[in-house]
Structures are given as C-alpha cells and as structure tokens.
Amino acid sequence: MTDATSMIDGEFGIYRVAELKPQILALVVDIDEPALDLGNVTEMDAAGLQLLLFARREARARGKSLHLTRVSPIVQDVLQLAGMSADAFEEASA
C-alpha cells in the first residue's frame, strides 16, 4: 500500500484550480492513501472548496479516503462556512 502527501502552498482558489486539479486528481487516482497538506494555504475561495469536494468524491469512488494532514486557518474558515470541519471532512457526506 502506498501513501503520499501533496502540499498546496499559497492561493487555493479560482486562479489556481485549473493548475491544481490534475495534480490532486493524480494523487487520488495513483495513491492508496492520498493526503493533502493545506497548512501553507494563504487564500481559499469557493473554487478551492469545490476542488476539495471533487477530490473527496473521486477518492470515495475508488474506495479511498482523502486525508487532510494540516489545515491553515483560512482553510478552516472556509470549511466552517460550508458547515464542515477538517476533522469531519473525511466522514462528511458528499
């Protein structure tokens, strides 16, 4: 079983989702226990949240769980606005 963590730095929003989507999708497809380190995310918007939810859905479709290993305060805020938390992200329904 392989595991890997991909780190997202800086902005995680509308201006970067097209760049980040293939990287995150490859992580979910290729890794047995995919994880995202969001500890260095400085900005996040609804597009970033949508990409996280897409990645979680794709992981689940493959019988996996997408783990969030670190979460910056801005990511925590966005998740909270969406009615989620980093701890419950893996368990929350898609």
Provide the Cα torsion 39, 86, 91, 22; round to 10°: -40
pLDDT at 16: 96
For the chain, percent of residues with pLDDT exceeding 70: 93
- CA–CA gap between residue 28 and residue 85 (Å, rounded): 20
Reading the block at residue 11, the tokens are 């902005």
Torsion-angle region of 78 (φ positive above 0: left; ψ -120 to 50: alpha; else: beta): alpha
Give the domain ranges of the chain: 3-81
Is pTM beyond 0.95 here?
no
Q: What is the mean pLDDT of residues 72-87?
A: 92
CATH topology of domain 3-81: Transcription Regulator spoIIAA (3.30.750)
pLDDT at 92: 54
| 44-55 residue pLDDT tens | 999 999 999 999
Which spans in 1-94 are helix H? 17-30, 46-61, 73-81
